[in-house]
Amino acid sequence: MLPLQANWLVIMRNVIVTGGSRGLGLGIVRRLTAEGYRAFAVARQMNDQLASTMEQAEQARPGSLHFIPFDLGNIQDIPDLVKKLRKGFGPIYGLVNNAALGLDGALAIMHNSQIERLIRVNTLSPIVLTKYVVRHMMADGGGRVVNVSSIIGFTGYSGLSVYGATKASMIGFTRSLAREVGRLGVNVNAIAPGFMETDMTQGLEGERREQVARRSALRRFPDVEDVADAVEFLLGAKAKSITGTVLTVDAGATA
């Protein structure tokens, strides 16, 4: 008979979370490990927050969190990344495409290299990563993909036209891919967060921050935990009949 710890490791479902070292990605990783998943935090570098989270996860559920150093701008290396994860840890149940660049600036003066970088990391990279992960999901009998978009993808925001374009593209990608792979047991959905309680919004000036918050029906920003809960819901059994949809978590900013 296997020890209890070994039994726990066998039943953990593998979920890849890109941009999992900070902000929303780290919040998603924490939520998933707490709910019994094995999470792979994909990011370019380790940081103190992720290191602390890994230490806590290892004490609570050994083997439930792994850091995968990888630059998602290196599109050509994505197939090998997925192959190694699948070979080393078994079937990939979930993929959360969270990593994204948030460069702002008026389109007329934005350098072409910045435009290309945004599109490469925010659109091309998650599409290619999903391609190789979904191949395994279809062969393994199913899985879940959650793409992190943004309300800016359908409301717009001055100075974020390129970023908004990349987030809108993820919504179209979600809806079409859901139809392609649904018959093979793969659910594909998107989350559209509004402005959240993160370092980015903390950087807004007091009055500007209050103005943004007052636009929402709840007169506040959603927390990172609110969005992480929504991601965990879409990965779970209660969302088995939900696919091709966009779940907005913005405290009513678009109500």
Q: Model confidence over 87-135: pLDDT tens digits?
A: 999 999 999 999 999 878 899 999 999 999 999 999 999 999 999 999 9
Mean pLDDT of 75-82: 98
Cα(232)–Cα(148) distance, integer angstroms: 12
At residue 181, the pLDDT reads 98
CA distances from 45 to 21, 89, 192 (A): 8, 21, 26
Sheet bearing 186-193, strands edge to edge: 65-69, 38-43, 14-18, 92-97, 143-148, 186-193, 246-249
| Burial degree of 210 (CB within 10 A; 0-12, 13-18, 19+) | exposed
CATH of domain 10-249: 3.40.50.720
Place of tokens 């100075």: 159
Q: Which residues, other chains included, contact 203 with Cβ-Cβ below 8 Å and sequence gap of 6+?
A: none
Q: Which of 37, 93, 132, 163 is catalytic?
A: 163
At residue 213, the pLDDT reads 76
At residue 9, the pLDDT reads 43
Please check the confidence at residue 209 and state whether its pLDDT lies above 70: no
- pTM attached to this predicted model: 0.91
Place of tokens 């980015």: 200
In the annotation, is 93 catalytic? no
Higher pLDDT, 141 or 213: 141
Q: Which residues, other chains included, contact 90 with Cβ-Cβ below 8 Å and sequence gap of 6+?
A: 14
Decide if 120 contacts 205 (C-beta within 8 A).
no
Q: Where are the domains of the chain?
A: 10-249
Please check the confidence at residue 225 and state whether its pLDDT lies above 70: yes
At residue 8, the pLDDT reads 42
Cα(127)–Cα(238) distance, integer angstroms: 26
Q: Model confidence over 153-197: pLDDT tens digits?
A: 989 888 889 999 999 999 999 999 999 999 999 999 999 999 886
